[in-house]
A and B are shown apart, each in its own frame.
Chain A
Amino acid sequence: MRRSAFAAYLGVTAMLAVVVLSVPSEVAAEPYFAAREGMKCVACHVSPSGGGMRNQFGNIWAQTMLPARRIEVEDVPMWTGALSPYLAVGGNLRANGSYVDIPDEDTQSEFDVEEMRVYGAVTLIHERLLLYVDERIAPGGSVNLEAYARFSSADQRWHVRAGQIYLPYGWRLEDDNAFIRQVTGIGFATPDRGIEIGLETNEWSAQLALTNGTGGGSEIDDGKQVSLRAEHIRALWRIGASASYNDAEAGARHMQGAFAAVRTGPIVWLAEADYITDDSFPARRHMWAGLIEANWNYKKGHNLKLTAEYFDPDDDIDEDEQNRYSLVWEYFPVQFLQLRAGARIYDGIPQNAFQNRKIYFVQAHGYF
């Protein structure tokens, strides 16, 4: 190893160690990263339940632990997102190429910008009071996703967030089209306005949110949505439960779910099952959604993700169930860059071509 590279390695290691020690109960990213490392979502993200902007530890971890190779640039300090003690920024860009095959229809292939999101955080009182914004600026014009103020207790165990937030429920997967995210209606496209109280201890992470229950739209009734997520975290496994009740004029919606993860050698397994009762239909519907995912980190910088999903849109109707299977290769060639290639195979009732589509995609994902 060249001396300069070794020095940079030592510097990175020392920096990582400092950040780890300074953020004892806060670290994560995609759920399988957190499960692999035995850490919590808040370890790597500003938001307590994950997703969005990475904190200093998350930025350094993503640059050092994820990529197959790190390109060292001498005399340039490592990016941490912090522009000053008060201001931090971040972002994500996902550009896709996709090929979609829907039975009995012409195939589609296109290049697309899935999203460009920018994050900003202003720390007004160190480790206590923070203002945060998550804005999707492309494609199209700007759309606000999250905007909140967070106040944390001195020991960092408790926090209160108020504003527009992603709701706490289940695994916060990157893929909003996963059945467990699409059917529950809790994903990156449907932040809601309200307040959240959170608890973080060494082995527990819990959030309770009270929101309008309108998916980011204006309030339309007296009812509110209550969402609860609690997770018990151990080094090799974790288990959690979620519940949500949306008391809406259009019909109440109850959701209960359980989720878990376990690491077996280089493979991280994720699972979630949700049961939803929805009164907004003319007749009450009971739905099931489930996911099992294996993430095989077979080599540094490489992950193979295999996912099987299940969706029963109406428990009272037979033969309407849907499956989705995904195989995705994720490659982090260098820091700040992820390349993905994969296939998603939908398997639904034969008379619905859309439920039987096949999607093949490649994606370039830049993040900072």
Chain B
Amino acid sequence: MQKRVTACLACIALSGCAGSGEGLDANGRPLEESEGGDVLTANLASIQTHVFTPMCTNCHSGAAAPLGLRLDEGVSYAMLVNAPSVEAPALLRVAPGDPDASYLIHKLEGTAQVGGRMPLNGPALPAETIAVIRQWIAEGAQAPSQDASSSVPSLTAVWPMQRMSSHEHIVVVADRELDATLLAAGTITLRKTDEAAERALVQGLDLPRIELRSQLPTVVAIAPPDGGWARGAYELRISGNAPLAVADLNSRAIDGDGDGIAGGDFVLTFKVEETR
């Protein structure tokens, strides 16, 4: 009897503990952190604030995000837009301008080829919410406005972090729009460091392809060759040094080495270990 009373008291103690929300935004964060406004609108900042962060990131965040899909603020754009789905590789997660061909919409509407409807085991998003996400995609899946506070363009590796499997893309995002004509042979090189076999990556040749997933901001993906990457250690180098440096539309070379000054190569080292 005493145990029942104790447990009942514990249940009662749990009740009434919900926060009042005072001083917080709709995501439960302090108001000073808020972005995206109060009403869901067809832009990524708003969708991030009203949908991805409160409903998706309980699972889709951090290194253990299911199927490697992170929807945290700051990385969701590069993980979604023009990125092939893991479950259905023939489809892009978000195909700008084409919500019907976007796997994200398939997952939200429950028509996906594989797996359950999202949010998994939860209530489906209201049709109005999905309609807003559809509208964002139909309008080109624009990126959120960039915080280009630095005077020189910088790059961030979205994928891989250190390792990846043989059929995955390398994804690098810039903090602004880069001159796409410079993203070609001579500026991006990939070296298999354990074999010292350097080769240029040239679109259209029988070599891995460079894909420009987005222009603003510039998201560059390097597709694996047919048959996938060979196992081993790699070094991706994006030139920030003369005579042929990747630069923004104002001809400012990238700050590849992160010293705050234009110039220096961006270097990403990683291993390909797993084959599928």
Contacts and interface: CB of A to CB of B under 8 A. Distances in A.
Given A140-B116, A185-B64, A320-B21, A190 B59 contact: yes
A220 B164 contact: yes
B114 A220 contact: no
Nearest to A321: B19
A250 B121 contact: no
Nearest to A283: B33
A112 B62 contact: no
A22 interface: no
Contacts of B205: none
A112 B62 CA distance: 30
A33 B256 CA distance: 58
Nearest to A218: B165
Interface string A231-252: 0000000000000001011110
B115 A140 contact: yes
Interface in B27-64: 27-30, 54-55, 58-59, 61-64
Contacts of A310: 14, 17
A114 B62 CA distance: 26
A3 B61 CA distance: 60
B26 A352 contact: yes
B162 A221 contact: yes
Contact of B17 (A112, A278, A323, A355): A323
A175 B68 CA distance: 23
Contact of B123 (A136, A294, A359): A359
A319 B67 CA distance: 33
Contact of B65 (A217, A225, A349, A359): A217
A317 B68 contact: no
Interface in B54-88: 54-55, 58-59, 61-70, 72, 86-87
Interface residues of B, number: 65
Interface in A293-351: 294, 306, 308-310, 313-314, 317-323, 325, 347-351
A351 B25 CA distance: 7
B68 A108 contact: no
A209 B159 CA distance: 26
A8 interface: no
B224 interface: no
A253 B7 CA distance: 30
Given A142-B114, A269-B3, A320-B28, A350 B15 contact: no
A185 B18 contact: no
A141 B62 contact: no
B19 A280 contact: no
Given A115-B116, A320-B28, A108 B124 contact: yes
Given A218-B68, A218-B164, A348-B18, A141 B114 contact: yes
Contacts of B204: none
B22 interface: yes
Contact of B19 (A141, A248, A348): A348
A198 B48 CA distance: 41
A13 interface: no
Interface in A71-86: none
A320 B214 CA distance: 36
B24 A253 contact: no
A349 B22 CA distance: 8
A172 B226 CA distance: 41
Interface string B114-145: 11110011111011100000000000000000
B11 A294 contact: yes
Contacts of A357: 123
Given A317-B24, A319-B23, A102 B126 contact: yes
A331 B18 CA distance: 31
B160 interface: yes
B192 interface: no
A108 B127 CA distance: 9
Contacts of A280: 61-63, 72
Interface string A82-117: 000000000000000010101001101010101100
Nearest to A320: B28
B20 interface: yes
A143 B86 CA distance: 12
Nearest to A179: B58
Contacts of A306: 11
Interface in A134-186: 136, 139-143, 175-177, 182-183, 185
B112 interface: yes
B86 A217 contact: yes
B240 to A, nearest CB: 23
A48 to B, nearest CB: 22
Contact of B14 (A115, A142, A309): A309
A318 B19 CA distance: 7
B63 A213 contact: yes
A342 to B, nearest CB: 14
Nearest to A217: B68
A141 B115 contact: yes
A269 B11 CA distance: 11
A57 to B, nearest CB: 28
A264 interface: yes
A308 B82 CA distance: 42
Contacts of A106: 126-128
18 contacts: A106-B127, A110-B124, A141-B114, A190-B64, A215-B59, A217-B66, A218-B163, A219-B163, A253-B62, A262-B3, A292-B7, A308-B11, A318-B19, A319-B19, A321-B19, A322-B18, A347-B18, A354-B54
By Cβ-Cβ distance, the 8 closest A-B pairs, closest first, are A248-B63, A349-B21, A217-B68, A319-B19, A280-B62, A320-B28, A215-B64, A100-B123
